[in-house]
Structure 1
Amino acid sequence: MNEKSIKILLADDDEADRLLFKEAFDELNVGTSVETVNDGDELMHLMQNTEAENLPQILFLDINMPRKNGLECLKEIRADVKFKEVSVAIYSTSSSENDMQETFLNGANVYIHKPNDFQKLKKLLEKAIIYANVYQDPPFNKDNFLLVAE
């Protein structure tokens, strides 16, 4: 791992999804350090108790989580100036147009529909890193918001 690795944080209540996510980044070997949390409460506690310089560059956020869902977390993150440098990639099984619209309007950088194929997952995560960094500042580009597996 290079010394300037990209800090990535995944908030997802599904343990199998968390393991696949980490494995995909290990195989991509793109200089990342990946941390995971189990739900929105754990995420917000970690984010609020982390120094600004140690925050993740990219947060992958599941929408459907117990206790505090991804949309609630997104709104809190975008309302706090401490987190303005954090790119948010929604990472969900939901393909609901409403979920996509809500997360876009609330400041998510990209939306990823979780693929059920590991190779597609790796390609999407690689794309997400590029897009989340390119489309860092508002106004976000809706044409590049939804990342789909090819």
Structure 2
Amino acid sequence: MSMFNTEANETVNEPVNKPSPKPQRIPSQIRLGIWGFPGAGKSVYMLRLSQELSDQGRLVPTDEITAKYIYEGTKLLEKGEFVNPTGTGKYSKYSYTIENSDNRNIELTFFDLPGEVFTDPENYFSSENNREVNVVDYLLECHGILF
């Protein structure tokens, strides 16, 4: 059945899921997947997001690796330079906490994967806890995907 009634140019009334009467609670830990081909700007996006949240005084890196990456990457961007692309066969996990005014803090975790990983959906890499996972499974486990 087509979504449009081509004769009358009207949409077909099909049942839709009703919204939940209660808003769902936002989880305190959120994993976002960033998908993109080599050179698409995945690393730059993560840095710009962290920079925006830092400027608002709401971002706290959860570990030294993340703090160093944000600091060094932001300095490069401020000079008009880009961070180096994530090398083939390498990846990093960056995690930071967003402090909200209602004291419900959210921890965001990103895996910075090289774009080459996304050219083969069966490509495997070691994720959290050194668990082997392929790209499709990794993205399916994320709360959201940016691409």
Q: Same fold (TM over 0.5)?
A: no
Q: What TM-score do the two structures reach when normalised by structure 2?
A: 0.30
Higher helix share: 1
Greater length-normalized contact order (CA 8 Å, ≥ 6 residues apart)? 2
Task: Please tell me whether Structure 1 or Structure 2 has the larger radius of gyration of its CA atoms.
Answer: 2
